[in-house]
């Protein structure tokens, strides 16, 4: 095969909506590229956004568990670091399993959308049975991670699978698929607390509600990339529902996130660095609302990705508060 043919084959083996210089294409053999693309290893933003609510919850729990009033709670910085590692590994595995499942459900729709038709299933670079087997492998990794926690956390994690299974179908029966994504992507806001205390209370529940609102906001921004194609194929979304009123809705949802996080912090009794981090994060969200152009797909993608930095700032504030 000529060098030109090799180059053409390599280009055709990639997906249109992922960076071409990603480590996947530099490190993995080409035969594994479809698996990596199904799991979105070439787009880490997804597992990062899934991970941050886990990290927030773990750090929020650490603020309470490390206080002198909770001497009976088993907690240490080493245990927290172990939990953070597990949550990161679980986020990568379960985000990959969820994306693969989503592509299995949506492969016919993806074939009709310009941004997604080059993905492995609609482009037929991997078979449906192989993709199903890959879902099972990733879910097994997620289960192995989950088994490192207490029984309450294990059962809580298993319960999240119901939302994960339903989510890909939501765009077919509601204008609010982003709400179902929020239910799934925010579940970690419950898990981090449960891993420390073996139960739930109001702070993680409020944090979960806030994270759902945050997810609806950033995924509405993301969905504006596909609104024209979505309208043609009948896919529903909050981007299509909100339309030119998107900024007002973002103010609402990001405002709910700020209020719920503030209430969770107050009930937990965190110190000032947590509030400082939240203020910076809310300012970053306000900047997104101010500058967004819903008809600029490239900008919408950039603003969507900026939410990982929002998640990091909230986490750093909570971590600093543990030792303040």
Q: Go through the chain and tell me how many residues it has.
A: 324
Asked if residue 314 is part of any domain, the answer here is yes
pTM: 0.93
- The whole-number pLDDT of residue 9 equals 45
Asked if residue 4 is part of any domain, the answer here is no
Taking CA atoms, 188 is separated from 49, 85, 90, 169, in Å, by 10, 13, 10, 22
The number of angstroms, rounded, from the C-alpha of 243 to the middle of its chain's C-alpha atoms is 23
Return the closest-CA partner of residue 194 out of 159, 221, 169: 159
Domain that holds residue 51: 45-322
- The whole-number pLDDT of residue 118 equals 86
Instruction: At 85, give phi and psi (nearest 5°).
Output: -60, -45
Maximum CA extent, the chain: 71
The one-digit pLDDT tens for each residue of the chain (324 residues) are 445 444 444 555 677 666 667 788 889 998 999 999 999 998 999 999 999 999 999 999 999 998 877 767 788 999 999 999 999 999 999 999 999 999 999 888 888 877 788 889 998 999 999 999 999 999 999 999 999 999 999 999 999 999 999 999 999 999 999 999 999 999 999 999 999 999 999 999 999 999 999 999 999 999 999 898 888 888 899 999 999 999 999 999 999 999 999 999 999 999 999 999 999 999 999 999 999 999 999 999 999 999 999 999 999 999 999 998
Q: Which string of DSSP letters, residue by residue, matches 62-128?
A: HHHHTSGGGTTS---HHHHHHHHHHHHHHHHHHHHHHHHHHHHHHHHHHTTSTTTTTSTTTTTSS-H
Asked if residue 5 is part of any domain, the answer here is no
Q: How many domains does the chain have?
A: 1
- The whole-number pLDDT of residue 22 equals 79
What six digits make up the tokens of 134?
């890959």
> For residue 190, how many other CB atoms are within 10 A of its CB?
23
What six digits make up the tokens of 133?
């087997």
Asked if residue 24 is part of any domain, the answer here is no
CATH of the domain at 311: 1.10.357.140
Asked if residue 17 is part of any domain, the answer here is no
Instruction: At 280, give phi and psi (nearest 5°).
Output: -65, -45
45 Cβ contact partners less than 8 Å away, ≥ 6 residues apart = 304, 305, 308
Asked if residue 231 is part of any domain, the answer here is yes
Asked if residue 31 is part of any domain, the answer here is no
Return the closest-CA partner of residue 318 out of 55, 79, 82: 55
- The whole-number pLDDT of residue 217 equals 98
- The whole-number pLDDT of residue 25 equals 87
> For residue 289, how many other CB atoms are within 10 A of its CB?
18
- The whole-number pLDDT of residue 18 equals 65
Asked if residue 16 is part of any domain, the answer here is no
What six digits make up the tokens of 56?
């927030």
């Amino acid at each position: 095969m000529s060098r030109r043919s090799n180059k053409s084959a390599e280009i055709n083996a990639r997906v249109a909506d992922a960076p071409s210089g990603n480590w996947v294409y530099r490190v993995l053999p080409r035969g594994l590229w479809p698996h990596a693309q199904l799991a979105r290893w070439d787009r880490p933003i997804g597992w990062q956004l899934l991970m941050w609510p886990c990290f927030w919850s773990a750090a929020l729990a650490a603020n309470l568990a490390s206080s002198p009033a909770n001497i009976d709670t088993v907690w240490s910085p080493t245990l927290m670091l172990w939990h953070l590692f597990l949550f990161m590994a679980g986020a990568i595995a379960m985000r990959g399993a969820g994306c693969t499942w989503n592509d299995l459900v949506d492969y016919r729709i993806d074939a009709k959308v310009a941004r997604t038709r080059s993905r492995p299933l609609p482009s037929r670079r991997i078979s449906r049975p192989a993709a199903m087997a890959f879902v099972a492998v990733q879910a097994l990794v997620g289960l192995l991670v989950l088994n490192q926690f207490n029984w309450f956390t294990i059962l809580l994690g298993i319960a999240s699978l119901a939302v994960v299974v339903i989510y890909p179908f939501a765009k077919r029966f509601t204008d609010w698929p982003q709400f179902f994504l929020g239910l799934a992507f925010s579940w970690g806001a419950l898990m981090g607390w449960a891993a420390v205390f073996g139960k739930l209370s109001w702070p993680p529940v409020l944090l979960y509600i806030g994270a759902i609102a945050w997810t609806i906001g950033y995924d509405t921004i993301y969905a504006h990339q596909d609104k024209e194609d979505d309208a043609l194929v009948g896919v529903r979304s909050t981007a299509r529902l909100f339309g030119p009123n998107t900024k007002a809705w973002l103010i609402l949802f990001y405002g709910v996130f700020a209020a719920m996080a503030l209430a969770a912090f107050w009930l937990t009794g965190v110190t000032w660095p947590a509030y400082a981090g939240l203020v910076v994060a809310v300012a970053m969200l306000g900047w997104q609302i101010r500058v967004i152009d819903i008809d600029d797909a490239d900008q919408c993608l950039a603003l969507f990705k900026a939410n990982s930095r929002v998640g990091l700032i909230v986490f750093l504030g909570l971590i600093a508060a543990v030792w303040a």
